[in-house]
Structure 1
Amino acid sequence: MTNSPIALSCLCGNVGLTVSSQPNFLHQCNCTLCTKTGAQWAYFPPESVSCEGNTQPFCRADKDDPGAEIHFCGKCGCTTHFVLTKSAIAQHGNTMIGVNFALADPADVEGVELRFPDGRGWSGEGAFGYYQQAITLPPV
């Protein structure tokens, strides 16, 4: 695990994110939101992430109370990160930002465990199950 800052960017470079260190693991969830945005989520405390550039927010309309607001580049469309919604913060505190590590250089995720949560099969209560066994990302 690397404790050095890691820089990520969208395809066009309009949005850049910097995180404090390599994540402990990544999630490649199979829910419709994650699969359609192409995300591999890493989770960080909000103070460990900086974002530069303009993003567009999106909240799911198919959920009465979505917990996450997804951000993407308005120029190239890449999903960059998510923040918790006001209602999620009220329930759980402002505990995390999700960063899309599909935007990272492959060398920056070498040795990181990639997990596969079963978001499609999750009831919304309790822990996730997994639809596939975790893998460790190889060297590039």
Structure 2
Amino acid sequence: MKYEGSCHCGLVAFEVEGELTQVTACNCSICSRKGALLWGVKPDQFRLKTSSEKLATYTFGNQRIEHRFCPKCGVHTFAEGILSGNRMVVVNANCLEAVELSSLPLRHFDGRSL
């Protein structure tokens, strides 16, 4: 299934294709503050519809993950990098259109332990 997503103001827009069967809540220092619900996909399942020059990026720690967000409204839309040895894109499922997240199973991930 193909999903459309964006930040609040619409400056950052993307689409992602796959089966959204669960979302993940991570308790690491950044995810717990953002309150994002995460869905990880392979890079070929994700298409950024906005020019990458319009994105703001935040990295921290070992700087293997680039957290992407809108410089205008501040909404974190996705992150990309190497996770468990694989290149991944992790979408903030709260930014997806027409998805009832409360109907999906919620997996908790202990990111503080990494």
Asked if TM exceeds 0.5, the reply is yes
2:104 to 112, 119, 134: 112
Which one has a larger percent strand, Structure 1 or Structure 2?
Answer: 2
Counterpart pick for 1:31 among 15, 25, 28? 28
Say which one has the larger Rg: 1
What RMSD in Å do the two structures reach over aligned CA positions? 2.1
Gaps of 5+ in 2: none
The question of whether the paired residues in 2 share the 8 Å contact of 1:10 and 1:73 is answered with yes
- Alignment length (residue pairs): 111
Contact preservation (8 Å) 1:6, 1:22: no
In 2: Cα distance, 1:16 partner to 1:113 partner:
25
Normalising by structure 2, we get a TM-score of 0.84
**1:35 alignment partner, SS class:** helix
Q: Residue 94 of structure 2 aligns with which residue? A: 102
Distance 1:21 1:40 in 2: 16
**Taking structure 1 as the reference length, what is the TM-score of the superposition?**
0.70
Shift of residue 110, structure 1, vs aligned partner: 6.1
Instruction: Please state if 1:45 is matched with 2:42.
Output: yes
Q: Which runs of 5+ in 1 are unaligned?
A: 125-140
Q: Which residue of 2 aligns with 1:137?
A: none
Higher relative contact order (CA 8 A, sep 6+): 2
What does residue 130 of structure 1 align with? none
